[in-house]
Amino acid sequence: MQKKNVKMEVINPHAAGIDIGSRSHFVAIGQGDSDVREFGVYNEDLHALAEWLTASGIKTVAMESTGTYWQSLFAVLQSSGLQVILCNGKFTKNIKGKKSDVQDCQWIQKLHTLGLLTGSFLPDEVTEQLRTYCRHRANLLEQVASTSKKMQKYLRLLNLRLDVVVNDVVGLTGIKIIEAICNGETNPEKLASLRNGNCKKSEAEIAKALQTNNRKDYLFALKHEYQMHLNLQTKIVECDLEIESLLNEQINKDNNKKQHHIKKKVYKKINKNTPKNMDINLLSYQYFEGVDLLAIEGVSYSTVLTLMSEVGTGIHKFESAKQFASWLRLSPNNKISGGKVLSNKIPKGSNRLKIALRNAANAIGNLKNTALSNFFARISHRKGRVSAISATARKLAVIIWNMLVKKVPYIPQTEYQFLDQKRKKITAMKKLIAKFDISPNDLNLQL
């Protein structure tokens, strides 16, 4: 039986493939053994890699997004004038039974030459810097939560049941009492006198809960956790100042952004983890050139800050709202075989923006008599709250894309009409237009 050769069109004739590693990078500029080289991960090795690619006539390079090992090489290749495509690892997997660093880089080079690889979303430099600050801030908040839990644990072991009489042990009342305990105060009445005026419990009840057993080991551990808590709070404030400075720097550079102003939203709740030293309402309004994202019910300051740091102005890279929702993995992943839908579940995996939108959707589910909360209630009634959160998060993504890309202001839909009702009204209007021969000039409309 004669062999049949299947030819495929070469899209990128001057392409290279790189298999990223923690200790070395394997680079292929062709399918021969002499077309593959191994380079180290030091700075001089990265520049030598870029020089070899340039000398070999390579114009475009594809690589996997392996951890954070790709970032330094990516910057060096871009500075050398090469077009770099960062690919998701699941799209560059080699066929079964062929697994080695040399074969992997050659497989990536072959796929890229045939134009079978697409690049991942990458933010601009400013958004990347803002992302670093915001993600570091989120990690600090997680550490703060850990220290507060440990302080609560040692207070309980000291028989100081502060968690029973206050809602938050690191709130206005709790933090003053913990500070006094760490300074050596043991008198329950004096500790209870530090009660804030907003605290619901009386001084007598608080004093009753603050009778300690004076264990020195637990007190020593409590002091260390309290000092760590204060240190982390200082670090968070420093991080907030860097975020504010970066945003103000970008806004002051652009007169189109600087000219926008907006009133404060006193009705928006300020969470204890929200940055206190900056006006995110004004900064986001100026950063997105007059788009008020906080006008959407359920969207908080943290949601907007996450959007600015994870996507920023790079949201324009998504050609449609559907593409943006699909990138967030909020769209159903339809699997069809033989004309039958096998599955339409949302793909697995989350990023920080998806989590922020789902949290906002969950908050919308607790609202009453709003456009999005009514939508949430309809989905929740039919499919449950989990599906309603995903559907509302996707709706939020579509609204945000339209507001930022198309500059469409958010106007909540006061009355919902089912699809068949809309079709009936459109059909009736078409009949009236045809019956009376109505033209746009008769309606004083400008097309």
Answer yes or no: do 240 and 294 share one domain.
Answer: no
Q: What is the pLDDT of residue 415?
A: 60
Answer yes or no: do 233 and 304 share one domain.
Answer: no
Q: Considering the entire predicted model, what is its pTM?
A: 0.83
Would you say residue 70 lies in a domain?
yes
Nearest to residue 311, comparing CAs of 378, 233, 400? Answer: 400
* Residue 248 β-bridge partners: none
Q: Which of 45, 78, 113 is the last residue of a domain?
A: 113
Would you say residue 398 lies in a domain?
yes
Answer yes or no: do 326 and 391 share one domain.
Answer: yes
Residue 88 Cα distances to 60, 70, 85, 348, angstroms: 17, 12, 10, 15
Range(s) of the domain holding residue 375: 280-405
State the CATH number of the domain containing residue 76. 3.30.420.140
User: Judging by DSSP bridges, how do beta strands 335-337 and 83-87 pair with one another?
Assistant: unpaired
Would you say residue 273 lies in a domain?
no
Q: How many CA atoms lie within 13 A of 273 on its CB side?
A: 14
Counting the structural domains of the chain, the total is 4
Answer yes or no: do 306 and 326 share one domain.
Answer: yes
Answer yes or no: do 173 and 205 share one domain.
Answer: yes
Answer yes or no: do 237 and 132 share one domain.
Answer: yes
The Cα–Cα gap between 236 and 427 comes to 58
The Cα–Cα gap between 250 and 286 comes to 10
Answer yes or no: do 99 and 67 share one domain.
Answer: yes
Would you say residue 122 lies in a domain?
no
Answer yes or no: do 55 and 77 share one domain.
Answer: yes
Q: Environment class of residue 360 by beta-carbon count within 10 Å: exposed (0-12), middle (13-18) or buried (19+)?
A: buried
DSSP assignment of 370-417? SHHHHHHHHHHHHH-HHHHHHHHHHHHHHHHHHHHHS-PPP---SS--
Answer yes or no: do 193 and 242 share one domain.
Answer: yes
First vs last C-alpha separation in the chain: 65
* Residue 343 β-bridge partners: 335
Distant-in-sequence, close-in-space partners of 413: CB < 8 Å, separation ≥ 6: 371
* Residue 84 β-bridge partners: 61
Answer yes or no: do 94 and 134 share one domain.
Answer: no
Answer yes or no: do 85 and 165 share one domain.
Answer: no
Would you say residue 105 lies in a domain?
yes
Q: What is the pLDDT of residue 447?
A: 43
3-state secondary structure of 149: helix
Number of neighbouring beta carbons within 10 Å of residue 12: 21
Answer yes or no: do 62 and 161 share one domain.
Answer: no
Would you say residue 313 lies in a domain?
yes
Residue 416 is which amino acid? Y
Would you say residue 268 lies in a domain?
no
Q: Which of 206, 230, 250 is the last residue of a domain?
A: 250
The tens place of each residue's pLDDT in the chain, 447 residues long, gives 566 666 678 888 899 999 998 899 999 998 888 899 999 999 999 999 999 999 999 999 999 887 888 889 999 999 898 999 998 877 787 767 677 888 888 899 999 998 888 888 888 889 999 999 999 999 999 999 999 999 999 999 999 999 899 988 998 899 999 999 999 988 999 999 998 888 888 889 999 999 989 899 999 999 999 999 999 999 999 999 999 999 999 999 988 888 888 988 888 888 888 888 889 999 999 999 999 999 999 999 999 999 999 999 899 999 999 999 999 999 888 777 777 877 778 888 888 999 999 999 999 999 988 889 999 998 999 889 999 999 999 999 999 999 999 999 998 876 655 666 777 888 888 888 888 888 877 776 544
Which two tokens mark 22? 């923690």
Would you say residue 290 lies in a domain?
yes
